[in-house]
Amino acid sequence: MRPLDGTALDGPALNLAELAADARGRLDPVHWDFFTGGAGEERTVRANEAAFARRYLVPRVLRGAVRRDLRISLLGTRISMPVLIAPTAFHRLAHPEGELATARAAAEAGTIMVVSMAATRPVEQIAAAGGPLWFQLYPQADLDFTASVVRRAEAAGCSALVVTVDSPVFGRRERDLRHGFADLPPGMVCENMRDASGRVRDIGMDAGLDWARITWLREVTRLPILLKGVLHPADAALAVSYGLDGLLVSNHGGRQLDGALATLDALPAVVEAVGGRLPVLLDGGVRRGTDVLVALALGASAVLVGRPVLWGLAVGGAAGVRHVLDLLHADLDRALALAGVTGPADLRGDLVATVACG
Ligand SMILES: Cc1cc2nc3c(=O)[nH]c(=O)nc-3n(C[C@H](O)[C@H](O)[C@H](O)COP(=O)(O)O)c2cc1C
Ligand SMILES: O=C(O)C(=O)c1ccccc1
């Protein structure tokens, strides 16, 4: 362990903030900034965490919650806890094994890893870890190539498609501009962007993406499809009418539209618009078991973590990611006990109060 001041700290990180400090000490500052940063003034990066800080718990007592059961089922997959691994690009920048290490940790911990389209390991090798995988897709303007990537994810055994819809263009990330960071170092590529000839394509953001493309995608695959990056309740209602299978309330960790609403603040209206017809997931700023508890109490079926997984990878590869997942599992279990709740299904909005500032 190495905290921000560079002095040695014994033992494993007690929380994800300590882990972040340790990761910072180990990563190339350019890569630390790529992982940490967001778009513009990073208002939305900060807002995601600040939204959790404005929520307080109103626990129940004398509930006899001796044993808590954190397991849930999502689109047919039983997982150990309502915490998944969000899709993040370029894991080999954090650890030489890259996504292979992340996948082993997710499999051991019994949760779903969402593989990024910008993964630096091939999805077939990531799948060899044996855990449940979903595949994140940036639909490309080339429809044939997009369909071939979907086929590849299906063949590798991914059990759902997570379509990122908050990125019609790439967000403007000033830290990366300052460093001139735009590309992977030599020897690393986005392995899932290889076409039939073996050439690696650049990932394109498609400003032309629209609902018609979702209809097209619906016909390309029988996998469940979730939309990632929905904040507006009107889009949530449209997603239901277009036959989607799930929603992920996300602002891309504040890396796309700076000034976008914090995900926790967007969640209640999306949950109301969906009216129980689809599972609604959330990511952005989840750092503690109590954050998971709050998101679920406000209507999320599960949450995902992005940056903490990269910190774990940087500090200890698969063991570091496992530590992140174990910390969140233990922290959620304790929070449920202290709130008098036996499991995710018992969480209701009456356990959460919102204050004006944290
Ligand atoms: C370094 C980094 C890379 C990311 N890459 C992707 C990606 O390839 N595809 C995607 O849909 N989202 C990507 N995201 C967004 C995450 O899936 C997720 O929405 C966000 O990180 C959640 O917020 P958190 O980091 O506060 O947990 C990335 C986020 C980070 C920090
Ligand atoms: O950094 C990101 O947030 C991201 O989504 C991404 C996508 C493609 C390539 C690199 C990063």
Closest residue to atom 11 of ligand 1, CA basis: 164
Q: Phi-psi bin for 95: left (phi > 0), alpha (psi -120 to 50), beta? A: beta
Give the per-residue pLDDT at 357. 83
Query: Mean pLDDT across the stretch 100-126?
Result: 98
pTM of the model: 0.97
Condensed to tens digits (0 to 9), the pLDDT of residues 36-59 reads: 999 999 999 999 999 999 999 999
Q: What is the mean pLDDT of the chain?
A: 96
Neighbouring C-beta atoms of residue 151, cutoff 10 Å = 12
pLDDT grade for 9, boundaries at 50, 70 and 90 = low
Q: How confident is the model at residue 12 (pLDDT cuts 50, 70, 90)?
A: very high
Ligand 2 within 6 A of 203 CB? yes
Q: Judge if the beta carbon of residue 288 lies within 6 A of ligand 1.
A: no
Average pLDDT of the segment spanning 112-122: 98
What pLDDT does 122 receive?
98
Q: How many CA atoms lie within 13 A of 72 on its CB side?
A: 23
Higher pLDDT, 2 or 290: 290
SS3 (DSSP) at 321? helix
Distance 117 CA to ligand 2 centre (A): 9
What's residue 169's pLDDT? 98
Residue 155, pLDDT above cutoff 70: yes
Q: What is the whole-number distance in angstroms between the Cα of residue 201 and the centre of ligand 2? A: 14
C-alpha atoms less than 13 angstroms from C-alpha of 297 in its C-beta half-sphere = 26
For residues 292-300, average pLDDT: 98
Per-residue pLDDT tens digits for 180-215:
999 999 999 999 999 999 999 999 999 999 999 999
Residue 1: what pLDDT? Answer: 41
Q: Is the pLDDT of residue 19 over 90?
A: yes
> Phi and psi at residue 77, in whole multiples of 5°?
-110, 125
Q: Is the CB of 184 under 6 A from ligand 2?
A: no
ipTM > 0.90 for the complex = yes
**Phi, then psi, of 40 in degrees rounded to 5:** 55, -130
